[in-house]
Amino acid sequence: MNHDDHSLARWLGETLFFDVEEGTRDDDAAGHILEEVYRRRDAENLRRVQHRRRRRWGTIAGITVVAASSAAAAIYLNDQPTRPESGATCRASVDVDADAIAIAAGVDPIAGCRQLWASDRFESTDGIVPPLAACISANGGIDVFPGDEGVCETLGLAPANPDLSAENEAIIALQDRLIMEINAAECRPVVDVVVTAEQILSESGLDGWRVVIEPGAENGICGKASLNSSTRAVTINEF
């Protein structure tokens, strides 16, 4: 990647993956995500991605992050994540503070975590895949723990529904478009990016959402977008 690509990869890690708190961010991993974004940027690939999102959680693609869980409270509604755009984390043990590998939004959390265990991504696992349980994490995403269905209750968490709601699928599709049509595109002034973001949002089918500009970024020459479903906002930042 060139200098601009490295800068954008770092921005992706710091802005789009802000839900992983107090963790070690991996610029190389963010770079891999960026490369995948470039590969899938054309219109035909975008159409396929959106179609796949509607049918299922997607194919395996993730970034590795050693993380600690957030202490923020979550609102549980029908066992759905309240922050679907944050993806999921595969935990190494039955502990909300256990080391984790993050899985990108839209990926089936159980399938993604199973592949990580099978690939011996955790220490001393020897490729053995334990039973896995998906729970709603404290930050509103999904944490996958080794264990049976009782693990979530043991940890004081709600079990996660294996299927995303229509609204959560729409949120992930919205994030896909923001990444591909704004963040992976060439730099444009913030005011122009706002227009694009508003158009994408209007086509998402989501109600009660808005596009906002990060304070101080109004005159920025390179606008990028991030999404926060807790505030139901798409924020335009200066990159």
DSSP label at 85?
Answer: G
Does one domain contain both 83 and 27?
A: yes
pLDDT digits (tens, 9 = 90+) for 166-187: 999 999 999 999 999 999 999 9
76 versus 92: the higher-pLDDT residue is 92
Does one domain contain both 170 and 159?
A: no
- CB count within 10 Å of CB 231 equals 11
Range of the domain at 114: 1-39+58-163
Query: What is the tally of structural domains in the chain?
Result: 2
Residue 61's nearest CA partner among 95, 109, 24 is: 109
pTM of the model: 0.62
Rounded-to-integer distance, Cα 69 and Cα 84, Å:
16
Q: Which token pair is 67?
A: 């993380």
* Residue corresponding to tokens 């294996």: 162
Sequence-separated contacts (24+) of 211-216 with Cβ below 8 Å = 211/235, 211/236, 212/236, 214/238
Q: Does 75 map to a domain?
A: yes
Q: How confident is the model at residue 11 (pLDDT cuts 50, 70, 90)?
A: low
Question: Residue 19: what pLDDT?
Answer: 41
Q: Taking 70 as the threshold, does the pLDDT of residue 131 lie above it?
A: yes
Q: Does 53 map to a domain?
A: no
Instruction: Give the DSSP H/E element, type plus range, for residue 144.
Output: strand 142-146
Does one domain contain both 122 and 147?
A: yes
Does one domain contain both 174 and 94?
A: no
Q: Does 64 map to a domain?
A: yes
